[in-house]
Amino acid sequence: MEQEKEKVTKLELDNPSDFRFHVAYMAYSEAWDENTSEDARNKLNEIMSSLTATEADYEDFYAKISQFRTNQIEYHRERIQGQRKRDYRMSEKKSARASRHRT
């Protein structure tokens, strides 16, 4: 006997009036389009359904869906080294003096 596999369909739950939910749905939709595996799509549907049933919050949603997303953006903070104007001027004067006397 042949078992018929039901094709998994994308959930149409978008709510543009709720910004947070709309952005979460967009992330789900992109992940859905990138993954062709039926198992991955089933899991994505489960994750999205748990968000709509308010079983999970948005932080959990993004943590779970991140494994299915390919273009993740990571932010890194970089420290900016500042310098007082007086210190800068003193170092410039010193290097200018040194360059004048190098001959």
Give residue-wise pLDDT tens across range 39-81.
Answer: 989 999 999 888 888 767 888 888 889 888 877 666 777 887 7
Q: What pLDDT, on the 0 to 100 scale, is given for residue 72?
A: 63
State whether the Cα torsion 60-65-67-71 is positive or negative.
Answer: negative
SS3 content of the chain, % helix, strand, coil (to 5): 55, 0, 45
Mean pLDDT value of segment 20-44 = 90
Q: Which of 9-13, 25-29, 58-62, 70-74 has the lowest mean pLDDT?
A: 70-74
Q: Copy the structure tokens of residue 75.
A: 């932010």
